Structure 1
Amino acid sequence: MEKTADILCIGAVLWDIIGRSASHMRLGADVPGRITRLPGGVAMNIAMTLARFGLNPAVLCATGRDPEGDSLLAEAAAFGIITRYAYRSDDLPTDRYMAIEGANGLIAAVADAHSLEAAGAKILRPLEDGRLGRDTAPWTGPVALDGNLTVDLLHTIAHSPLFRNADLRVAPASPGKAERLLALIGHPRVTLYVNLEEAGLLCQCEFSDSSSAALGLMQRGVRHVLVTDGGRAAADGFDGDVITHCPPSVLVTRVTGAGDTFMAAHIVSERAGMDRASALARASKAAATYVSGDTPL
């Protein structure tokens, strides 16, 4: 029997190629380490965490009809993710992300999400053809949106009747793509998840801490925002009120996917009926556990 989706993850589902070293790295460094290939992308990372917490996430994404796409969706299904709504392209390759991480954090990364961008609104077809909804009966559940989507598509989502009843949870794919989310600022059903740098880019200023960043974004029209700041206190801003929580101190062994884990854990916590402080604390702990190398459960 096919599972019914209880949350949609819309955006990048791709292969993460990560080079990690225990050494402190600088520009031009050549050090020993490990190179791994894992399922990744913002939508995939969120979906994997949601599945670990017992939800039934479905991904709306773009992959090629190539061996990389076949194996990627097979791995996603093995995690418990619903993949039958994925858009499969005959002429676009499966996307990839490559990053280098050292003892001093993320050194550099390149995201090749060109196939997702080229597919555009085709990935939303299940929301309009009756499989997940239509204009007259739109999707009413939570949606995790990925900043890898184009500005045009994010603008379409912000004004589409297909999303008028959805609980939109939005995260940038990276600081370099944060400004794409300006299309969604002011939307009454959006919760925004950003780090301190991304908050500054959206507000075109620098913030000293997550609390001031949350206040700045609410002044720009965001009703609900979560701001993380690495190992420093994270903030939850809602209707002008800000609360903070400092994550536990851990030894950092990985970086890529930490923000996505925080977002997924926060979504699950709110769905479970936790209050703001408890949901923020649980999300912070899940992200800290993730970067320490353990499973965030």
Structure 2
Amino acid sequence: MAAPSILCIGSVLWDVIGRTPASMRLGADVPGRISRIPGGVALNIAMALRRAGLSPVLLSSVGRDGPGDELVARCKLLGLDTAYLHRSDDLPTDTYMAIEGAGGLVAALADAHSLEAAGDRILAPLRDGRLGSAEAPYPGLIALDGNLTETLLAEIAESPLFAAADLRVAPASPGKAERLLPLLGHGGTTLYLNREEAGLLAQRVFEDAESAARALVARGAGRVLVTDGGAATCDASAEACHVSSPPPVMVERVTGAGDTFMAAHIAAEAEGKDRVEALAHAQAVTAAYVSGETRL
């Protein structure tokens, strides 16, 4: 494994996804396909970054149970660095479960209780000198997801361990978007949100991605990328604002789309693409993913 080119901090778990081409209503019982695959926001991002040629390191909590051993083995096969994972004897490996129908996501449950219970133990390599310390903080890219507790995210916003990082942050879901409030004014942070998540973070409703991104920058965010499904995406900061529409596609799946977008954008900028090029690249990669042409 090469020297780390990005740390991925957050959920590393099993995704259990049920998909059906049928429309579903409350209580529906329809034929479909069920898959169990490595997932979680941090892991989804890491897998996509690895395919793009980067060397991701995972910081998370994985149980010392059968599912955890299997998950770590799969991560190693994918070329991911698992050496810094917190392996817990008393916390089970987390799981995400979702059902997708003809109209997209029907419902989902994220059981990330073990990650939350592990707390700042997952950050030990950033404190003890293996990846950094308070005196010599990690200086590179870090992808951080909102499955961490609100308390831990607030600590990260003030921590010297993250003072030198290029911090890229995404909520794990709209329900966890408000956890990111402490990071809103953190220097060196880029937020990746959809329009709903941006609205929850700003506590207002936005009509489009541009208005959402501009509002969050006005509230102190250093840089914000806001997506809006098939509508235009906005990349905004105090210095510039760029809006671009994604390619039109038939949507076959939605779980992992946001993670795919974030990873593709990070990889593009790591390659030296400018903001316009990086956004266009991320939109093209995400379009291929949601249409079923590529997989996480």
TM-score for both structures, normalised by structure 2: 0.98
Within 5 Å, give how 1:112-191 maps onto structure 2. 112-191=111-190
Q: Could you tell me which residue of structure 2 aligns to residue 50 of structure 1?
A: 49
Cα-to-partner distance string for 1:257-279 (whole Å, 9 max, x where unaligned): 00001001111111111111111
Q: Could you tell me which residue of structure 1 aligns to residue 110 of structure 2?
A: 111
Q: Could you tell me which residue of structure 2 aligns to residue 4 of structure 1?
A: 3
Distance 1:112 1:133 in 2: 30
Q: CA RMSD in A?
A: 1.1
Alignment length (residue pairs):
296
The letter for the 2-side match of 1:145 is: L
The letter for the 2-side match of 1:37 is: R
Cα-to-partner distance string for 1:178-210 (whole Å, 9 max, x where unaligned): 000001011111100000000000111111110
TM-score for both structures, normalised by structure 1: 0.98
Q: Could you tell me which residue of structure 2 aligns to residue 203 of structure 1?
A: 202
Q: Could you tell me which residue of structure 2 aligns to residue 213 of structure 1?
A: 212
1:95 deviates by 0.1
Q: Residue 18 of structure 2 aligns to a residue in which SS?
A: strand
Q: Could you tell me which residue of structure 1 aligns to residue 221 of structure 2?
A: 222
- Percentage of identical aligned residues: 63
Q: Is 1:194 equivalent to 2:193 in the alignment?
A: yes
1:4 deviates by 1.8
Q: Could you tell me which residue of structure 1 aligns to residue 99 of structure 2?
A: 100
Whether the 8 Å CA contact 1:178–1:198 is kept in 2: the answer is yes
Q: Is 1:258 equivalent to 2:260 in the alignment?
A: no
The letter for the 2-side match of 1:90 is: D
Q: Could you tell me which residue of structure 2 aligns to residue 40 of structure 1?
A: 39
Q: 1:296 to 1:71 in 2, by over 3 A?
A: closer
1:112 deviates by 0.2
Whether the 8 Å CA contact 1:286–1:296 is kept in 2: the answer is no
1:241 deviates by 2.9
Q: Residue 139 of structure 2 aligns to a residue in which SS?
A: coil
The letter for the 2-side match of 1:132 is: L
Q: Could you tell me which residue of structure 2 aligns to residue 23 of structure 1?
A: 22
Distance 1:75 1:232 in 2: 35
Whether the 8 Å CA contact 1:132–1:139 is kept in 2: the answer is yes
The letter for the 1-side match of 2:60 is: C
Q: Is 1:59 equivalent to 2:58 in the alignment?
A: yes
Structure 2 stretches of 5 or more lacking a match? none
The letter for the 2-side match of 1:287 is: T
Whether the 8 Å CA contact 1:170–1:191 is kept in 2: the answer is yes
Distance 1:272 1:51 in 2: 13
Distance 2:194 2:143 in 1: 16
Distance 2:78 2:236 in 1: 32
The letter for the 2-side match of 1:107 is: V
1:287 deviates by 0.9
Structure 1 stretches of 5 or more lacking a match? none
1:240 deviates by 5.3
Q: Residue 262 of structure 1 aligns to a residue in which SS?
A: helix
Q: Residue 45 of structure 1 aligns to a residue in which SS?
A: helix
Distance 1:172 1:240 in 2: 24
The letter for the 1-side match of 2:292 is: G
1:296 deviates by 6.7
Distance 1:237 1:151 in 2: 25
Q: Residue 253 of structure 1 aligns to a residue in which SS?
A: coil
1:29 deviates by 1.5
Whether the 8 Å CA contact 1:3–1:82 is kept in 2: the answer is no
Deviates more, 1:232-241 or 1:173-182: 232-241
